[in-house]
Structure 1
Amino acid sequence: MIFLGGCHTAVILNPSGQIGASEKTIIIVAAILMLIVVLPAIFMTFLFAWKYRESNKTSTYKPRWQFSRTIEITIWLIPAIIITILSILVWITSHTLDPYQPLKSDHNPLTIQVISLDWKWLFIYPKQQIATINQLVLPTNVPIHFRLTSDSVINSFFIPQLGSQIMTMAGMQTQLFLIANKPGTYHGISANFSGLGFAHMNFKTIVATNNQFERWVNKVRRNTNNTLDYQQYEQLAKPTINNPVEYFSPIQSNLFFEIIHKNMTQK
């Protein structure tokens, strides 16, 4: 797993965000701790098979051997210590990496509302009054507060190089805090099978400098005359595969919460 870090496709081990970097550390530490048990076990399997082979006449033969205090202490104490360390690690990181936990920063969080559809992603920037399909643009070093829901089946929102995945469910709202520390273009995916177009339910995540982000927002506002109200949304929500990137502005107020309420009240 550690050697895979040199492969550009092993994106989880090549993080570009604070949460992703913390998760990489956990993966590596946990792998090393487990290898303390696994590697000696594999080594001894081959060692014993070679040393006590039938043709080896010099190996010690003890047919009545039953117990060794040293072996018993070793095989129980070392795994117990490792399990204890892993338990403490899991307890601490379950709280520090809680997806609902706001991230400390000098910048105010940017709220983005996310709706998983068949088979595309809708991103609403309520404060900026813009929305996009299958393209997510983020400023560097600014905490992002994602509010997520689904207007279809259960799905999973995941940008591997930035951090945690989180489920989206109809009639419910989940939350996720992430932060991107390096400008670049990253791959976002659906991490939960959702039907025919699942394999194409990807989106591009562009992390830009703060000035670039502001220019992009102004460009979308200025060059887009495509209002996203509830009526337009109903057309947009129809199933499509490989939906191209689209931009909308302005956005109907509270559209995100209307969609949640609609799915809460459906029978």
Structure 2
Amino acid sequence: MKTWWRKGLFLGALGLLFLTGCSEKYPLLDPQGPVARKEYHMLLLTTILTGIVIVPVVILLFVVAFRYRDRPNSKAAYKPDWHESKWLEIIWWGIPVIIILIIATVTVKETFALQYPPEKKEPITVEVTSLDWKWLFTYPEQGIATVNYMNIPTDRPVKFVLTSDAPINAFWIPSLGGMQYTMPGMAMRLWSQADEPGTYIGKGANFSGKHFAKMSFKVNAQSQEDFDKWVEEIKSTKPALTNEGYAELSKQSVVGESAYSSYPEDLYMNILMKNGGEYMPNHWMMMENQKTAQPTK
């Protein structure tokens, strides 16, 4: 058997070996909310459009390598004076340009469309603080706090207000979509939503030191009724988070999950102010007002 046939069989077997692992669901390919679904559709569109270029190029690579290989009595055309073709230039430059324009247009449109949650249901707000090496979630409307896990109601938008009291990190829940950096002194914003009950994994998606790989957290999506029961349970069974307790929590350490029945009302604002920022409790409303404001006469 010729060498190139052996190499072809080896590459084919290697490809099948990798494909055997595709039966398992990956979070990015298993969207569980409206944001994740839009991102998934954008991923599919980009894959299909880039495939229009990649697949023919890969096929032509093997065809050209086979047809023009060095062999006796080759019948392949030999044109040493041929140097260009206007039609070929138009094809291999025009098609990629069109594809890039389509991808750019769709990406910009969908990105702006995902800036604000739908107005059908009242969102719930969760303040997110990344620490070394853990996540603190505070619920300003419910008055409770959790570490390394959060509960959210299903079929209801969740508005995340994100900051950091440690090095810059990135907040990411692959199954629910969206990713946003957490930065000291800044209140970034992101929204998401879970359509079905379940437990989803969130990650710290930016290098932030020795134990950054352990900065994962659970997101438990449950019905509104179960969420309300959970809040009441936390309030009645868990201790309060004090300023002293937060000072200890914010030290570099790896901890497990915990919850608190209350926390200092100005905790999140103090975190922002300490790092040179300014907290606007109604920042989302202000953004909405700016978006819909009419010019004054």
3-state DSSP of counterpart to 1:264? coil
Please report the TM-score for the alignment, with normalisation by the length of structure 2: 0.82
Name the aligned partner's letter for residue 13 of structure 1: L
Name the aligned partner's letter for residue 54 of structure 1: D
Cα distance, 1:181–1:212 mapped onto 2, change above 3 Å: same
Cα distance, 1:253–1:169 mapped onto 2, change above 3 Å: same
Indicate if the aligned counterparts of 1:140 and 1:210 stay in contact, CA closer than 8 A. yes
Once the two structures are superposed, what CA deviation does each residue of 1:60-97 show, in whole Å capped at 9, x if it has no partner?
22222233233222212212211221121122123113
The answer for the alignment partner of 1:136 in structure 2 is 150
Distance, in Å, in 2 between the alignment partners of 1:253 and 1:68 is 70
Correspondent of 1:86 among 94, 103, 124: 103
Divergent runs of 4+, >3 A: 3-9
Distance, in Å, in 2 between the alignment partners of 1:185 and 1:152 is 27
Q: Does 1:207 align with 2:221?
A: yes
Shift of residue 5 of structure 1?
10
Correspondent of 1:59 among 53, 76, 92: 76
Name the aligned partner's letter for residue 84 of structure 2: F
Shift of residue 6 of structure 1?
4.7
Shift of residue 218 of structure 1?
0.9
Distance, in Å, in 2 between the alignment partners of 1:96 and 1:26 is 13
Indicate if the aligned counterparts of 1:119 and 1:240 stay in contact, CA closer than 8 A. yes
Distance, in Å, in 2 between the alignment partners of 1:204 and 1:4 is 28
The answer for the alignment partner of 2:38 in structure 1 is 22
Structure 1 gap segments, 5+ residues each: none
The answer for the alignment partner of 2:263 in structure 1 is 251
The answer for the alignment partner of 1:229 in structure 2 is 242
Shift of residue 18 of structure 1?
0.9
Distance, in Å, in 2 between the alignment partners of 1:187 and 1:69 is 52
Distance, in Å, in 1 between the alignment partners of 2:80 and 2:184 is 65
Distance, in Å, in 2 between the alignment partners of 1:14 and 1:124 is 28
The answer for the alignment partner of 2:172 in structure 1 is 158
Structure with greater proportional helix content: 2
Shift of residue 17 of structure 1?
1.3
Indicate if the aligned counterparts of 2:125 and 2:161 stay in contact, CA closer than 8 A. yes
Name the aligned partner's letter for residue 33 of structure 1: L
Indicate if the aligned counterparts of 1:229 and 1:255 stay in contact, CA closer than 8 A. no
Once the two structures are superposed, what CA deviation does each residue of 1:117-154 show, in whole Å capped at 9, x if it has no partner?
11111110111111011111110011101111111111
Shift of residue 105 of structure 1?
4.2
Distance, in Å, in 2 between the alignment partners of 1:63 and 1:233 is 75
Cα distance, 1:188–1:4 mapped onto 2, change above 3 Å: farther
Indicate if the aligned counterparts of 1:8 and 1:14 stay in contact, CA closer than 8 A. no
Name the aligned partner's letter for residue 226 of structure 2: Q
The answer for the alignment partner of 1:196 in structure 2 is 210
The answer for the alignment partner of 1:73 in structure 2 is 90
Distance, in Å, in 2 between the alignment partners of 1:23 and 1:35 is 18
Provide the identity percentage. Answer: 38
Distance, in Å, in 1 between the alignment partners of 2:122 and 2:197 is 19
Alignment RMSD, CA only?
Answer: 1.8
Indicate if the aligned counterparts of 2:169 and 2:205 stay in contact, CA closer than 8 A. yes
Once the two structures are superposed, what CA deviation does each residue of 1:195-243 show, in whole Å capped at 9, x if it has no partner?
122111111111111111111111111112x1223222112212211x1
Q: Does 1:116 align with 2:130?
A: yes
Please report the TM-score for the alignment, with normalisation by the length of structure 1: 0.91
Once the two structures are superposed, what CA deviation does each residue of 1:12-51 show, in whole Å capped at 9, x if it has no partner?
1111111111111111111111111111111111111111
Q: Does 1:264 align with 2:276?
A: yes
Indicate if the aligned counterparts of 2:27 and 2:175 stay in contact, CA closer than 8 A. yes
Name the aligned partner's letter for residue 15 of structure 1: P
